[in-house]
């Protein structure tokens, strides 16, 4: 077919596809040309609140924006005090309120959308209050509530109670803290969020169970049934698209499990538009090929740089790291591994393990099963004669501690769900002095976590590189495929970014910056770390308790604060919803300043050694990474020590740094 006819046919198909996609779009949005004004509370976190910078955010705010996008309408969100929002709705100044509890008293006054969350109240009292355990104990007491809130109806039914009205939840909590009110009744989630954000966990507590769970949704004037139908449709689409689950998880720390099947109307419409774009893209594919070749060349250079950096980091580690295949032959080793085994640089690769001082490991452990059959890893001590390090000749027997874990799989056997094993990763170090030290258990724990993390990160770095290689192999045969071209342009940079994110932790662990020690307040550094982890605390619904005393220390304050943040972040990330992480700062004996962080979930990946729990290592989604072990390194270069122990069933990390300049 002539080229001119092909171009004409492509243009006609594009026009038809765009016309049909337009017919599938929602026509009801045309009736709402002007922005729909929707009011909300300005101080009701995490549902809706104005930040210190003036931004209006929260669960309801994100949900309204998502509905506006799905419906193709403009929504103007108006933050105001709750009582003012009700007056504005009654007067018609706003068309709706984005979130209101559906109570029997409000049913005759407003129309409500479908409920999108369950609303329940709770009783908040001072920590030292033990005479209030439920609503019946509030008789004759002074109770604070938000003005015209659903909790006002609950408080009004308490016999003899004096009710104090506050403009918002934070103001009502202040009445409890200052002793003006005996208790505050308000939304449970909002109250918990406010207590955590304002660090009031030592001053306020919740008593009794949930009060009156009720549906919570949008509220409209009685004459706006059209808006009820419109926003119910938008809410349904937000649920079907999966946006609701993401918004809920962002603000409450857990997503709602809803089964989904088939293509939604929005997905079908997107499919039509995508098809139209593909046809149009085919007209300029030649020009794109030239751009793609340049992009691939730049990406290849970047991959080469990342691989070189990865090799440099692993090779420069102060721990012996080596990999063996199923035949018990070394296939990679860093310089430290060669020195520990008494072999010259570059000579270890290709040697059999049984021909080195590690031969007892082959015959006395299940190393072959670990490398070939996927058995679990092990820890084994090997006594070596003579001395390993040429710098200390004739020093007598030395003890090598060897840790073996399977290399994480690069692929799966075809037709099975069992990962293929490609040998084992060995990590070993001279622990002769450590065995004689009371700190052996803590050092062992850190090494176990490091072995698991390095194995996982090695695999995670390999995966995107293999994926990129697969794309590059297909590139010559698919240069005329616009879908493939667009996917390569998106995929390669994202994989490079993924590899870089894993390199960051390895760089810090392998070559931490030289510390700049000075006298500083350890308590101030800890508070800075707590502020930095606050977003994670809020997102996961975790509470941090503090016992922070003024504590001088002598080290690099920035590195110590970073180490504390990493430990806190791991503890918060591994905690269950409403879990508690405790932080204690103070001076201990022998001139040390100490930070103790207790918390986290022992069900997270860990290995046990002599009764101790290995340090939590960070997991980024489904991927591995270095967490507390980086903190271990940062503290070590500052002349301090990081140890791990358990208190009951709770892991505790203790960080010690000098309290003054030594010598």
Cα gap 168→183, rounded to integer Å: 15
Looking at residue 379, which CATH number applies to its domain?
3.30.450.20
Residue whose C-alpha is closest to residue 402's, from 321, 522, 495, 486? 321
| Residue 626 confidence class, pLDDT cut points 50, 70, 90 | low
The angle subtended at Cα 42 by Cα 36 and Cα 46, nearest 5°, is 100
Residue ending a domain, choose from 475, 510, 545: 510
> Is 439 a member of any domain?
yes
Residue 415 pLDDT > 60, yes or no?
Answer: no
> Is 329 a member of any domain?
yes
Burial code (b: 16+ CB inside 10 Å, e: under 16) for 86-118 equals bebbeeeebbbbbbbbbbeebeeebbbbeebbe
The angle subtended at Cα 471 by Cα 469 and Cα 473, nearest 5°, is 70
Question: How high is the pLDDT of residue 434?
Answer: 66
**CB 596 within 8 Å of CB 652:** yes
Average pLDDT estimate for 285-313? 71
Q: Which residue has the higher pLDDT, 486 or 220?
A: 220
Question: How high is the pLDDT of residue 1?
Answer: 53
> Is 503 a member of any domain?
yes
Q: Where are the beta strands (DSSP E) in 419-510?
A: 424-430
Question: Residue 167 carries which DSSP code?
Answer: S
> Is 313 a member of any domain?
yes
Cα gap 394→390, rounded to integer Å: 9
Average pLDDT estimate for 383-400? 61
**CB 114 within 8 Å of CB 63:** no
Question: How high is the pLDDT of residue 19?
Answer: 40
Residue ending a domain, choose from 169, 198, 215: 215
Q: 491 and 401: one domain?
A: yes
Q: How far is CA 424 from CA 10, 176, 253, 359, in A?
A: 55, 60, 37, 15
Q: Which residue has the higher pLDDT, 462 or 587?
A: 587
> Is 304 a member of any domain?
no
Looking at residue 543, which CATH number applies to its domain?
3.30.565.10
Q: 237 and 332: one domain?
A: no
Q: 205 and 226: one domain?
A: no
Supply the pTM of this predicted model: 0.34
Range in 109-123, 289-303, 549-563 with the lowest mean pLDDT = 289-303
Q: What is the pLDDT of residues 485-503, one digit of tens each?
A: 888 888 888 878 777 766 7
- The β-bridge relationship of strands 48-50 and 142-146 is unpaired
Question: How high is the pLDDT of residue 608?
Answer: 36
Q: 403 and 452: one domain?
A: yes
**CB 573 within 8 Å of CB 539:** no
> Is 300 a member of any domain?
no
Tokens for 420? Answer: 């293929």
Split into its structural domains, the chain has a count of: 4
* Count of residues in the chain: 663
Q: 557 and 651: one domain?
A: yes
Q: 179 and 314: one domain?
A: no
> Is 296 a member of any domain?
no
Q: 206 and 264: one domain?
A: no
Question: Dihedral of CA 186/188/192/194: which sign?
Answer: negative
Average pLDDT estimate for 220-231? 93
Q: For residue 561, what are the contacts with CB-CB under 8 A and spacing of at least 6?
A: 525, 526, 528, 529
Q: 341 and 479: one domain?
A: yes
Q: 45 and 111: one domain?
A: yes
Provide the residue range defining the domain that includes 504: 309-510
Residue ending a domain, choose from 215, 249, 283: 215
Average pLDDT, the chain: 79
Average pLDDT estimate for 595-614? 53
Looking at residue 130, which CATH number applies to its domain?
3.40.190.10
Q: 454 and 533: one domain?
A: no
Q: 132 and 235: one domain?
A: no
| Residue 150 confidence class, pLDDT cut points 50, 70, 90 | confident
Q: 265 and 367: one domain?
A: no
> Is 284 a member of any domain?
no
């Amino acid at each position: 077919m002539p080229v001119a006819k092909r171009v004409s046919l492509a243009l006609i198909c594009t026009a038809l596809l765009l016309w049909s996609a337009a017919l599938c779009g929602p026509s009801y949005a045309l009736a709402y040309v002007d922005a729909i004004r929707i009011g909300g509370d300005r101080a009701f976190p995490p549902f809706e609140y104005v930040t210190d910078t003036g931004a209006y955010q929260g669960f309801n705010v994100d949900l309204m924006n998502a509905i506006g996008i799905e419906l193709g309408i403009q929504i103007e969100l108006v933050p105001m005090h709750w009582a003012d929002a009700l007056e504005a709705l009654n007067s018609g100044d706003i068309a709706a309120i984005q979130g209101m509890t559906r109570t029997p008293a409000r049913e005759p006054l407003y129309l409500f959308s479908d409920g999108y969350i369950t609303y329940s109240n709770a009783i908040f009292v001072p920590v030292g209050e033990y005479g209030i355990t439920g609503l019946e104990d509030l008789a004759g007491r002074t109770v604070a509530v938000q003005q015209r809130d659903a909790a006002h109806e609950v408080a009004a039914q308490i016999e003899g109670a004096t009710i104090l009205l506050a403009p918002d939840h934070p103001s009502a909590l202040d009445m409890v803290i200052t002793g003006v009110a005996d208790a505050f009744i308000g939304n449970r989630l909002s109250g918990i969020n406010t207590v955590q954000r304002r660090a009031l966990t030592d001053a306020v507590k919740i008593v009794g169970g949930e009060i009156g769970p009720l549906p919570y949704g949008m509220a409209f004037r009685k004459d706006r049934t059209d808006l009820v139908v419109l926003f119910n449709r938008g809410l349904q689409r937000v649920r079907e698209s999966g946006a609701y689950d993401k918004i809920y998880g962002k603000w409450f720390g857990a997503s709602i499990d809803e089964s989904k099947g088939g293509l939604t109307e929005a997905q079908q419409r997107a499919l039509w538009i995508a098809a139209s774009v593909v046809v149009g893209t085919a007209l300029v594919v030649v020009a794109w090929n030239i751009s793609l070749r340049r992009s691939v060349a730049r990406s290849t250079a970047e991959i080469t740089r990342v691989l070189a950096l990865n090799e440099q980091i692993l090779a420069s580690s102060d721990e012996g790291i080596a990999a063996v295949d199923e035949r018990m032959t070394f296939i990679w080793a860093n310089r430290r591994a060669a020195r520990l085994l008494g072999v010259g640089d570059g000579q270890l690769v290709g040697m059999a393990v049984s021909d080195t001082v590690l031969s007892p490991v082959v015959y006395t452990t299940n190393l072959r099963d670990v490398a070939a059959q996927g058995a679990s890893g092990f820890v084994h001590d090997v006594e070596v004669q003579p001395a390993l390090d040429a710098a200390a000749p004739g020093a007598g027997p030395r003890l090598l501690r060897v840790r073996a874990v399977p290399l994480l799989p690069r692929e799966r056997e075809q037709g099975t769900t069992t990962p293929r094993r490609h040998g084992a990763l060995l990590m070993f170090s001279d622990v002769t002095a450590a065995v004689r030290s009371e700190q052996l258990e803590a050092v062992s724990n850190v090494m176990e976590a490091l072995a698991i993390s390095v194995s996982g990160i090695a695999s995670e770095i390999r995966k995107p590189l293999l994926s990129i290689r697969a794309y590059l192999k297909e590139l010559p045969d698919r240069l005329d495929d616009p879908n493939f071209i667009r996917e390569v342009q998106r995929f390669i940079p994202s994989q490079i970014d993924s590899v870089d994110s894993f390199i960051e932790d390895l760089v810090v662990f392998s070559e931490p910056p030289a510390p700049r020690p000075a006298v500083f307040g350890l308590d101030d550094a800890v508070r800075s770390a707590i502020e930095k982890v606050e977003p994670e605390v809020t997102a996961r619904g975790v509470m941090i308790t503090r016992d922070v005393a003024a504590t001088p220390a002598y080290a690099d304050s920035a590195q110590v604060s970073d180490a504390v943040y990493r430990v806190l972040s791991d503890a918060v990330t591994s905690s269950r919803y409403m879990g508690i992480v405790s932080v204690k700062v103070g001076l201990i004996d022998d001139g040390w300043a100490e930070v103790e962080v207790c918390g986290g979930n022992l069900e997270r990946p860990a290995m046990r050694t002599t009764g101790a729990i290995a340090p939590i290592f960070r997991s980024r989604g489904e991927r591995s990474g270095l967490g507390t072990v980086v903190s271990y390194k940062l503290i070590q270069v500052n002349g301090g020590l990081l140890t791990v122990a358990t208190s009951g069933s709770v892991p505790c990390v203790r960080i010690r740094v000098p309290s003054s300049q030594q010598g």
